[in-house]
Structure 1
Amino acid sequence: MATPFDSLDDYIALPRIEGLALSPDGARAVLTIATLKKDGTGYERALWSIPADGSTGAVRLTRSAKGESSPAFTADGDVLFVSARPDGDGEDADGQVWLLPAGGGEARAVTAVAGGVDGIAAVADGADRVLITAGLLPAAEGVLEAHAKLHAERKKHKVSAILHETYPVRFWDHDLGPAEQHLLALDLGALHEQVGVPRGDEDEGAESEDKTEPYPASLPRPRDLTPRPGHPTSIPSAALTPDGTRAIVTQVVREGYDERYRLVSIDTGTGELVVLRDEVGFDIENPAVSGDGTRIAFVRTARPNPSAPSQMELWVADLDGSSSGRVAEQWDRWPTSVAFDHDDAALVVTADQNGRGPIFRIPLDGSDVDQLTDDDFTYTDAHVDRATGDVVALRSNWMAPSHPVRVGRDGAVTLLAAPVAPPEAPATMVEVDTTAADGARVRGWLMLPPGATADAPAPLLLWIHGGPLHSWNAWSWRWNPQLAVARGYAVLLPDPALSTGYGLDFIARGWNAWGAAPYTDLLAITDAVVARPDIDESRTAAMGGSFGGYMANWVAGHTDRFRGIVTHASLWALDQFGPTTDFSPYWQSIFTAEAMEENSPHRFVDEIRTPMLVVHGDRDYRVPIGEGLRLWSELNQRYAGADGSSPHRFLYFPDENHWVLKPPHAVVWYETVFAFLAQHVLGAEWTRPARIG
């Protein structure tokens, strides 16, 4: 039976659920749904409302050419979102916060920050106060009008230069600066509908020579809570007390060219800042505030070093930081989200666990951790219904992309009626494991194609995850094994040493030694899988991206058992990668100098016997293009023929980053990968993908 995975064009056209927000009364959820643009070059995003009890009745809330994202509910049930749709007559607009009234009516912009708003950081449960984040130019010193004037000057003169005075200068796929991330408080109670255009707002949205007009009087004026924020590598996490009077914020502390995080409390009315917890050698992050506004929860983690990985500890304290204590001390999983239960007697936490991502309830009285969900899914976007204690969330695994569900207090799962149904998947998902030489259990998922039997065994792709602190436990639109399964391959998705969800000791097996246990774990579980009668041991390949690309390079230099290797956005020379990646301090802190040398794949280039497909994007700041260029150069230096031909290939994207996100480029990526694998694994003639030209 044909599925959307048989055609790459059909696959990229599948609608995608990307986010979920829950209304204050728990009655409805708002989904962010991305659909392919008519020209196929990108995705449009719209908001849909669905009942949160499992009944039908999905309603589309927004429809604009610019699209909408990052939905959040106000205490009154209005929907906030971020959109770059123009407000008024302007055609070009920056992303601003918009409000869609719960009682009906058109959405309207509630901010007008020059250069746009980056996101909604927090919303008060019982007040009309909201926290937003926006980039303001440092010379403006937090004054919105001064920032607008400077922003207009840069735009008018087409100035793109950035003068850096601190490190870092880049993050993942974008440049940092010249603006600095500010946390702003916004009082929606100051928003009033008016008839006509208020005096002083006549030129709102129009271009101006000096851009000196005041911030629009018809909108609530954002209040800067972080007037000198510096250059954080990411938007700080924040939470609001129910009455909106205090913001609990993760704040960057500079340590030379490194940084750590402390926890502060900011009075959202006056901007007064109080340090709640600041520990040298620790990061304090991911705050949550209890429903009654008296307590906070946060994650405390020792700063990384080469000796061993650090546990992410869950802590709870009073609102002023006093009476703090760790909870679930014997629980060695890493929380991916933290919230208070509806009665504030427990924390509701998501975390990787044994190739899944369950929801856990962690009582604050010291009793045992309760694993609420026990299925083969990973849960994200988890929101606690304050009335019932149920959890409304998204969940996914390798058979189904993200879809909304309601999880009862007893763990019972109710599917919510979303306007997007999961596509029919061609694979059968099987759990596999083996025992490593040191006695550790190494497990993974095996995706089998239809018809794979002892009489017709399937070729195998060993697909290595990135991270390296990661797990193959959730659907990925970017790395999707269903596409390979639809072409007859079995795909092995293993979690070797360094993977999350198996405890700290399992991570420690590969710490400061990426080329040791992670590599031998991969070979051990591959050995176990190719011993199956429905797998063809003679037709195998290995592939991976980021850390998975690092490991693909390591595999290439240490064994010739695979017929082909695909290495995407890969680390090649660690001594080069360390000082050129977007945030050097972390990567250089987790290795000793000796281990960085010993575990660098480039040292084994002379041992490579397997054809390689190298893939890299020029705008990849996490693994800079120099890694791919050096790998390609050194492969050709050694293996190019007299006529310049090579068994290797290099797929280069001048305008893509770490992930290759543009739909047409994603198609080219898969076309090239499958053509390369067909040549070396299936014995087909090399066919140059048509869209390459």
Structure 2
Amino acid sequence: MATTPTDSTPFDSLADYIALPRVEALALSPDGQTAVLTVAALKKDGTGYERALWAVPADGGGAPRRLTRSAKGEAGAAFTASGDILFVSARPDSEGDADDESGQLWLLPAAGGEARPVTRLAGGVDGIAATAEASDRLVISASLLPGADTLESEASLRGRRKEKKVSAILHDTYPVRFWDHDLGPAEPHLLSIDVDALEDTIAAEVAEAAAEQEQAAEAVKDAVPGADASASSAEEKPYPATLPRPRDLTPKPGRSADHAEAALTPDGTTLIASIEHREQRAGRRVIVAIDTATGERTTLFDEVDVDYEMPAVSHDGTLIAYLRTVKSSPVAPTDYEVWVADIDGSGARRIAADWDRWASSFAFAADDSALIATADDDGRGPVFRLPLDGGAPERLTDDDFAYSNVLVDRGTGDLVALRSSWVVPPHPVRISGDGTVIALATPATTPRAPGSITEVDTTAEDGARVRGWLLLPDGASAEAPAPLLLWIHGGPLNSWNAWSWRWAPLLAVARGYAVLLPDPALSTGYGLDFIARGWNSWGHKPYTDLLAITDAVEARDDIDQTRTAAMGGSFGGYMANWVAGHTDRFRAIVTHASLWALDQFAGTTDSSEYWQRIFTPEAMVEHSPHRFVRDVRTPLLVVHGDKDYRVPIGEGLRLWSELAEHHADADGRMPHRFLYFPDENHWVLKPQHAVIWYETVFAFLAEHVRGEEFQRPQLLG
């Protein structure tokens, strides 16, 4: 059915789609009355997103109210115990260096007034690691150079590197990069800050200015004629006396705090943190307790070949919850175990032992009698209650949504969260004790989705149920069957259950395609045995599951089985490559950021030890797609970003080289194409590049699935 102007949606136009405002995060005030949303909006030039904080009533009424506005934007919102709002922003600090582009911690007072800076660290603030419920002490993550031992010397050393334009990094541990950025030379630290130590008075500012003038005079008097000018230009400047001085809780951390997860006791005296104990190329996660006043550290949980992660502290400060995971091997995946212990690590016990799901987040319920958890479950992402007394887990939400950012209102016991599905983007909601869900106000209104969504499933050859979501365009029928696009998820430990701004199947639906989003073997939310079906065997059950559910969907009379295509990114790209080498049933295949030669990938990715640990050497050879390049009969659109360090560009380059080796004609031409992004990573995140990505994908599909002439996107030259 043709789409009329009155039926149009933002998904009909790529420009309209990228302009949709996006709710990215959620914070809840201590009194439970206000939710603060981080909302991203497209810049006027269309080349990025600006983020601002918005307040909405947490009871379901009222209207959104914008709290912040700056050219640099704000993110990472959190509340202090007294109700002030904290956030990270690179907005200008009137008392800082004019050319400082680093993000700093800012505070927006609950009583009103303008936001003011809380930090002035030379390298900026990476994020807020933890806040305390009954104290104005908080912990931030910030990266400091290892060659400095004070904040002042660190700032001086950074200044000298900048002045000399030095970018070199010396490593003595593995890895050297992560996802899309180089690691080092700075190392992440955890720093505690007492926000109530802010001296926001004229007298304090006058005293600080006088101290700076005195230091400058001393520097001039002590200057030695003929001394290195660079040394004098980078004199150590004292950290501002009007700001609370951060206390380093992790001195000389190496790479141990790269991905630290932390929680503070309510009084702010103890930080419970999951950090990494380095081991050759990898490491194990351990949980430590750090006294935030003295920095004294006690290891609470540490086992060889076991990771301890996701620490949470009870509201009364007496209990710790955490995730315990034995490291997987080629034999089988291992379970994600939820444990609870006393605050000193004693009395550890596992809860929800028979719960065959993997918690992706958890927090203590208002009365500390249970954990409120999220987990993938049968193509959804519900909220669960896990009793601490050994009772059976209880599913609190019963809909087709996936929930995230779940926060507890201590006053009522209700929950506030973000939820989404494949037809509804993330939006804030309140969940009452009886499971009733109420949508909260949001400045990012929900766009109307084209077409419809339905659940599909089939039975695999070994009897396993394989399910997925099928999105159908308006007008699809036996008289007008829709072409089918098989869209394979990444991970591979993942599930197609939540909205993604990067992977937007509704854009394809708006262009007349039916989109199948299946969860084959290795997908989460179906139990450990379902994951094990594809473990150390990526090319077997995951592949046959995909073909089985595609067969089932193609049997529908509203699907045109003669016009089908497949696509995927990351592990989905691996599967797309595997599909290309094992069947010619699809008219076109799009393979994004894909694994091609497993032996090469496993040694060059940013986390090589993990990938080599979960495969046997034999399986890595047997299931490598590059071995079947001669059997590729389907046109491929290869897409890769040069800044992709998870699946390095060498995978895409080798795939393209070997396609040319075996399939190019005498003039070097192929039916395949290679879309290359020199400055994008594993994803394609810049909005102008996302538009080109979709324009190229849809032109490629139109050429091979619909028989149309290829329309080269204009901005590709």
TM-score, normalized by length of structure 1? Answer: 0.99
Residue 54 of structure 2 is matched in structure 1 by 48
Residue 66 of structure 2 is matched in structure 1 by 60
Check conservation: 2:578, 2:625, Cα contact below 8 A: yes
> 1:176-227: CA deviations, max 9, x gaps?
10000000000011112111633334779x9982140111000000000000
* Residue among 163, 184, 195 paired with 1:156: 163
Report the Cα distance in structure 1 between the residues aligned to 2:594 and 2:258, rounded to whole angstroms: 23
Is 2:133 the partner of 1:125?
yes
Per-residue deviation at 1:159? Answer: 0.9
Structure 1 counterpart SS, 2:54: strand
Report the Cα distance in structure 2 between the residues aligned to 1:292 and 1:201, rounded to whole angstroms: 43
Structure 2 counterpart SS, 1:198: helix
Report the Cα distance in structure 2 between the residues aligned to 1:592 and 1:491, rounded to whole angstroms: 34
Q: Which moved more, 1:559-568 or 1:195-204?
A: 195-204
Is 2:350 the partner of 1:350?
no
Question: Counterpart of 1:136 in structure 2: which amino acid?
Answer: L
Residue 569 of structure 1 is matched in structure 2 by 593
* Residues 389 and 594 (structure 1), Cα distance of their counterparts in 2 relative to 1, 3 Å cut: same
Give runs of aligned pairs for residues 130-279 of structure 1, distance below 5 A. 130-141=138-149, 143-195=150-202, 197-201=205-209, 209-232=233-256, 234-279=258-303
Report the Cα distance in structure 1 between the residues aligned to 2:165 and 2:380, rounded to whole angstroms: 48
Residue 121 of structure 2 is matched in structure 1 by 113
Residue 88 of structure 2 is matched in structure 1 by 82
Residue 612 of structure 1 is matched in structure 2 by 636
> 1:248-271: CA deviations, max 9, x gaps?
000211111211111100000000
Report the Cα distance in structure 2 between the residues aligned to 1:329 and 1:367, rounded to whole angstroms: 10
Report the Cα distance in structure 2 between the residues aligned to 1:312 and 1:465, rounded to whole angstroms: 21
Report the Cα distance in structure 1 between the residues aligned to 2:258 and 2:57, rounded to whole angstroms: 33
Residue 26 of structure 2 is matched in structure 1 by 20
Report the Cα distance in structure 2 between the residues aligned to 1:577 and 1:643, rounded to whole angstroms: 30
Q: Which moved more, 1:668-677 or 1:225-234?
A: 225-234
Residue 307 of structure 1 is matched in structure 2 by 331
Per-residue deviation at 1:163? Answer: 0.5
Check conservation: 2:190, 2:257, Cα contact below 8 A: no
Report the Cα distance in structure 1 between the residues aligned to 2:133 and 2:590, rounded to whole angstroms: 48
Check conservation: 2:259, 2:275, Cα contact below 8 A: no
Check conservation: 1:399, 1:427, Cα contact below 8 A: no
Check conservation: 1:148, 1:211, Cα contact below 8 A: no
Report the Cα distance in structure 1 between the residues aligned to 2:337 and 2:31, rounded to whole angstroms: 31
Question: Counterpart of 2:661 in structure 1: which amino acid?
Answer: Q
Structure 2 counterpart SS, 1:139: coil
Question: Counterpart of 1:167 in structure 2: which amino acid?
Answer: Y
* Residue among 659, 662, 687 paired with 2:683: 659
* Residue among 514, 517, 522 paired with 1:490: 514
Check conservation: 2:452, 2:472, Cα contact below 8 A: yes
Report the Cα distance in structure 2 between the residues aligned to 1:104 and 1:189, rounded to whole angstroms: 16
Q: Following superposition, which runs of at least 4 residues in structure 1 exceed 6 angstroms of deviation? A: none
* Residue among 464, 476, 494 paired with 1:452: 476
Per-residue deviation at 1:93? Answer: 3.0
Report the Cα distance in structure 2 between the residues aligned to 1:113 and 1:211, rounded to whole angstroms: 16
Structure 2 counterpart SS, 1:433: strand
Report the Cα distance in structure 1 between the residues aligned to 2:403 and 2:256, rounded to whole angstroms: 28
Per-residue deviation at 1:581? Answer: 0.1
Check conservation: 1:66, 1:83, Cα contact below 8 A: yes
Report the Cα distance in structure 1 between the residues aligned to 2:708 and 2:678, rounded to whole angstroms: 29
Is 2:375 the partner of 1:368?
no
* Residue among 670, 673, 692 paired with 1:668: 692
Structure 2 counterpart SS, 1:219: coil
Per-residue deviation at 1:234? Answer: 3.6
> 1:509-536: CA deviations, max 9, x gaps?
0000000000000000000000000000
Check conservation: 1:135, 1:180, Cα contact below 8 A: yes
What is the aligned length? 691
Structure 2 counterpart SS, 1:669: helix
Residue 580 of structure 2 is matched in structure 1 by 556
Residue 341 of structure 2 is matched in structure 1 by 317
> 1:56-107: CA deviations, max 9, x gaps?
1311000000000000000000000000001106253310000000010000
Question: Counterpart of 2:109 in structure 1: which amino acid?
Answer: P
* Residue among 623, 630, 645 paired with 2:654: 630
Question: Counterpart of 2:180 in structure 1: which amino acid?
Answer: D
Structure 2 counterpart SS, 1:392: strand
Q: Which moved more, 1:294-303 or 1:83-92?
A: 83-92
* Residue among 439, 442, 445 paired with 2:463: 439
Per-residue deviation at 1:465? Answer: 0.2
Q: Which moved more, 1:671-680 or 1:418-427?
A: 418-427
* Residue among 403, 425, 436 paired with 1:412: 436
Per-residue deviation at 1:284? Answer: 0.3
Report the Cα distance in structure 2 between the residues aligned to 1:312 and 1:201, rounded to whole angstroms: 54
Structure 2 counterpart SS, 1:155: helix
Check conservation: 1:379, 1:394, Cα contact below 8 A: yes
Residue 295 of structure 1 is matched in structure 2 by 319
Question: Counterpart of 2:87 in structure 1: which amino acid?
Answer: F
Check conservation: 1:14, 1:36, Cα contact below 8 A: yes
Per-residue deviation at 1:691? Answer: 1.3
Check conservation: 1:351, 1:357, Cα contact below 8 A: yes
After superposition, the CA RMSD in angstroms is: 1.3
Per-residue deviation at 1:427? Answer: 2.4
Check conservation: 2:414, 2:432, Cα contact below 8 A: yes
TM-score, normalized by length of structure 2? Answer: 0.95
* Residue among 329, 333, 338 paired with 2:362: 338
Residue 220 of structure 2 is matched in structure 1 by none
Report the Cα distance in structure 2 between the residues aligned to 1:645 and 1:372, rounded to whole angstroms: 57
Structure 2 counterpart SS, 1:400: coil
Per-residue deviation at 1:381? Answer: 0.4
Check conservation: 2:107, 2:117, Cα contact below 8 A: yes
Give runs of aligned pairs for residues 534-553 of structure 1, distance below 5 A. 534-553=558-577
Check conservation: 2:129, 2:262, Cα contact below 8 A: yes
Q: Percent identity?
A: 68
Q: Which moved more, 1:233-242 or 1:84-93?
A: 84-93
Gaps of 5+ in 2: 1-6, 217-229
Per-residue deviation at 1:449? Answer: 0.3
